[in-house]
Amino acid sequence: MAAVGAVPSGAGLDPVSAPNRRHRSGLQRTRTRTSLLLTLPGLAVVVALLIVPIGEAVYYSMTNWDGLTAQWIGPSTYLTLFQNPTFWRVLENNGLLLLSVPVAMIVPLCIAAMLHEHVWGWKVFRSVIFLPTAVSWVVIGMVAARVFAPGGAVNGVLGAVGLRSLQIDFLGHEYSALGAVAATFVWSMVGTNTIIFLTGMSTIDPAIYEAGRIDGASRLTAFLRITIPLLKRYFQFSFVITMITAFTALFSLIFVMTGGGPGYGTTTLEFFLYQQAFDIGQFGTGALIGVVLFVILFGVSLAQMRLLRGEH
Amino acid sequence: MCYPFIFMIVNSLRSENQFLNGQGFSLASWGALFRALPVVTELLNSTLVCSAAIAIILVCSSAAGFAFAKLRFRRQAFLFLAVIGSMMVPVQSIIIPEYVNLANLHLVNNYLGPIMVYAALGTPFATFLMTAFFRGLPDELIEAGLCDGMSPVGAFWRVALPMAKPALATVAVLQFIQIWDDFLVGLLFLQEPTNRTITVGLGVLSSGRVISIPILMAGSLVSAVPAIVVYLTFQRYLVSGLTLGASR
């Protein structure tokens, strides 16, 4: 996802350099036909089921669509949404969740640094730490709901370390519920990001560290001055993945863990969209929120591509 | 990291009372799970939907990836961007028009509906990976095939594809975990208890009637185990997929 702008170049086969022009153009035509034949299935699926629907979403976002009939209203629907205080309440939740993205990257960075040193048992640990990636958000949410419940593990730990005054029903209050969702999100992102950083670290030439050691750099200095700058691409990749997950993959976690509540406490844009369309039947508003979500993600992805381009 | 898994295993082996007391073990909850949910049917549904969608994704992404990487044709860059750029379309943004479109075609509560949606959602990233892989193959290999009188399709089928087995495995494993674990698409497109996938069956169970935690934990295990087994078995393919994604 990092380098969407990487257009194929130079790798294609040149047309056969036959002296006969007619023959050559004939072959060219076969090539074009073959290429279309090979790309057609993928193109058809993507156009019919992704590109056309996003166009429809833009159109229907300006109507009062209920799934059966739609009357044109116009771009003013966007103004109506932006004047709706609930929309801003929901967007605030998305913003607060974004604050956990750095945590979801720094923790795995430290873990990857330790694993890279090949501490005892690192292979087993690597398998274990990636495990949440294989488990569905439904299952994660179901366990997390118990962990944060009044008699759950978090309150148990708080009691054991003498912080009984902090014991609460985490999912029963707006901000603590959002915190619980964020903590669960961070927990399940640790695996993916650890693997990304480990991969990045394995591409760094050990000779660079050797040179640093000769120059008298401590391990910490080497980590800060060598590892971190060389991992830049991997930070960007991990940032995009983590951010997209925070915006678009938490629906099932929230559905199972809190149902969006209490109040609007854990309702994010994607959950709001589902509620508007499938609970209330306002398909037009749902499509509208979908377009807003798409624009936000597209903007951030473009910005990070620009960043990546700027360096080369 | 392991705590949630231990929590699931231990508590699924308790009855409701044993769970409340925190001691003793029994298989009562497992029995109750199989009475509360059509577990076997749902596992079969998940398997069917997953394998069909993965098959479509593999066909689409390997063919298109080969053309993008090894052939040269008009509007190539534009078409490539159209497919790869679709990666940025979040499911939620298209799910409402998609739902209405497929409902009009009577593809809701029909396995074909979710299969097509999963295939479309997986194809862009899979094509990205396959293009990256085919670009790594030397051009001379394909040229040699063409000189031996193969058509470009023949070169794809008999030269490039057999070499792409590891990449195909990576795509299949990544997509398997994604589709098996998905909730939203399944929730909307397969609504009957008998055609639901296991992940949706479980999610609906927990949000609906309040039922005992041990039963939910047993269900969680049933739904999680296939994906975990696939992950542990094919771990290296997953890692190589992420590597390819990050290094490009």
d(CA B188, CA B196): 10
* The pLDDT of residue A97: 92
Peptide bond into A19 cis (omega under 30): no
* The pLDDT of residue A27: 54
> In 3-state terms, chain A is what percent helix, strand and coil (to 5)?
75, 0, 25
- A48 DSSP 8-state letter: I
Task: Choose among B92, B177, B202: nearest Cβ to A293.
Answer: B92
For residue B71, the domain's CATH number is 1.10.3720.10
Contact B120 A49 (CB under 8 A): yes
Contact A41 B242 (CB under 8 A): no
Alpha helices in A117-173 (DSSP H): 122-130, 137-147, 153-160
Written as one string, the DSSP assignment of B181-215 is H--HHHHHH--STTT--HHHHHHHHHHSS---HHH
**Number of domains forming the structure of chain B:** 1
d(CA A137, CA A145): 12
The dihedral formed by the CA atoms of A143, A148, A152 and A156, expressed in degrees to the nearest 10 = 130
On whether any CB of chain B is under 8 Å from the CB of A176, the answer is: no
Query: What residue type is assigned to position A112 of the chain?
Result: A
Residue B1 in 3-state DSSP?
coil
* The pLDDT of residue B47: 94
A217 CA: distance to closest CA in chain B (Å): 28
Position B28 in a domain: no
Residues (pLDDT < 50) of chain A are: 1-24, 312
Position B195 in a domain: yes
* The pLDDT of residue A18: 38
d(CA B190, CA B184): 10
* The pLDDT of residue A9: 40
* The pLDDT of residue B247: 58
On whether any CB of chain A is under 8 Å from the CB of B147, the answer is: no
Contact A54 B81 (CB under 8 A): no
* The pLDDT of residue A1: 37
Position B188 in a domain: yes
pLDDT in tens, B74-88: 888 899 999 988 888
Q: Name the CATH topology of A98-266.
A: MetI-like fold (1.10.3720)
The domain containing residue B42 runs over which residues?
38-247
A-B interface: how many C-beta pairs under 8 angstroms?
284
Q: Is the pTM of this model over 0.90?
A: no
Which chain A residues touch B242 with a CB distance below 8 Å?
A: 192, 195-196, 199
Domain ranges of chain A: 98-266
The answer for residues whose C-beta is within 8 angstroms of residue A234's C-beta and 6 or more apart is A196, A197, A199, A200, B246
Looking at chain A, which residue has its C-alpha nearest residue B79? A43
* The pLDDT of residue B54: 97
Q: ipTM for the complex?
A: 0.85
* The pLDDT of residue A309: 65
* The pLDDT of residue B246: 61
What is the residue whose two structure tokens read 């479509």? Answer: B56
B44 CA: distance to closest CA in chain A (Å): 17
* The pLDDT of residue A185: 94
Q: Average pLDDT by consecutive 10-residue portion of chain B (248 residues)?
A: 81 78 76 82 93 96 92 87 88 91 92 94 92 87 82 86 89 91 91 88 72 83 90 80 64
List the 68-87 stretch of B: residues with Cβ below 8 A of A.
68-74, 76-77, 79-87
